[in-house]
C-alpha cells in the first residue's frame, strides 16, 4: 500500500517525459502465429499471391501486431500496469523483416490516481512512423 500522501508515481519515479520501449523484427512466423491467435486470416496478411495484387504490393503484418508491441512497451513501465484506453492511427504498412520500435512516452499525469497519458509511436528501421496514438494506463504498487 502507498504511504499516506505519497503518489505512486513518485514512489515509482515516473513523471512527464518518462519513456518505455520495446523492439522486434517482424517474421513470417509472427504473422502466422498472430493470425492463429486472433483468427484474422485476411489474405493481405497470409497470402502473398493475393497481397501482391493489392496496392500494398505484398504481404503486410496485422495492424494489431504493431499495436501489441506498444502494449509490450507499456508493460515495461514500473509497478503493476493496468491498460485503460488506446487510440491509434496506422500510418504505413509493416512488412516481414521490418524492425519495429514501440515507444510509450508519458505526456500527462494524474498523480492522485497514478494515471498516465502516453504518446504511443511505432517506428520502423528507417525511422518512419508506422503507428501513432495515445494510451492511458494506471500504475499500482506491484505485489511483493
E-strand stretches of the chain: 19-25, 80-90, 99-110, 115-123, 129-140
The pTM assigned to this predicted structure is 0.92
Domain count, the chain: 1
pLDDT digits (tens, 9 = 90+) for 28-57: 999 999 999 999 999 999 999 999 999 999
pLDDT digits (tens, 9 = 90+) for 56-115: 999 999 999 999 999 999 999 999 999 999 999 999 999 999 999 999 999 999 999 999
- The CA distance from 136 to 144, in Å, is 24
Residue 54 lies in a domain: no
Residue 68 lies in a domain: yes
Range of the domain at 20: 8-26+62-140
- CATH value at residue 106: 3.10.129.10
- The CA distance from 33 to 48, in Å, is 16
Residue 97 lies in a domain: yes
Q: Which residues contact 130 (CB under 8 A, 6 or more apart)?
A: 66, 90, 91, 92, 93, 94, 98, 100, 122, 123, 124
- The CA distance from 87 to 52, in Å, is 29
The C-alpha cell of 123 is what?
517506428
Residue 103 lies in a domain: yes
Residue keyed to cell 523492439: 23
Residue 107 lies in a domain: yes
Amino acid at each position: 500500500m502507498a504511504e499516506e500522501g505519497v503518489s505512486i508515481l513518485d514512489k515509482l519515479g515516473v513523471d512527464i517525459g518518462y519513456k518505455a520501449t520495446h523492439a522486434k523484427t517482424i517474421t513470417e512466423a509472427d504473422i502466422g502465429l498472430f493470425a492463429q491467435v486472433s483468427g484474422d486470416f485476411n489474405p493481405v496478411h497470409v497470402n502473398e499471391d493475393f497481397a501482391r495484387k493489392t496496392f500494398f504490393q505484398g504481404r503486410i503484418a496485422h495492424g494489431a501486431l504493431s499495436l501489441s508491441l506498444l502494449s509490450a512497451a507499456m508493460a515495461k513501465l514500473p509497478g503493476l500496469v493496468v491498460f485503460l484506453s488506446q487510440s491509434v492511427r496506422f500510418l504505413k504498412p509493416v512488412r516481414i523483416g521490418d524492425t519495429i520500435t514501440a515507444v510509450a512516452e508519458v505526456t500527462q499525469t494524474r498523480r492522485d490516481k497514478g494515471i498516465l497519458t502516453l504518446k504511443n509511436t511505432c517506428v520502423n528501421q528507417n525511422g518512419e512512423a508506422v503507428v501513432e496514438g495515445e494510451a492511458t494506463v494506471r500504475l499500482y504498487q506491484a505485489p511483493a
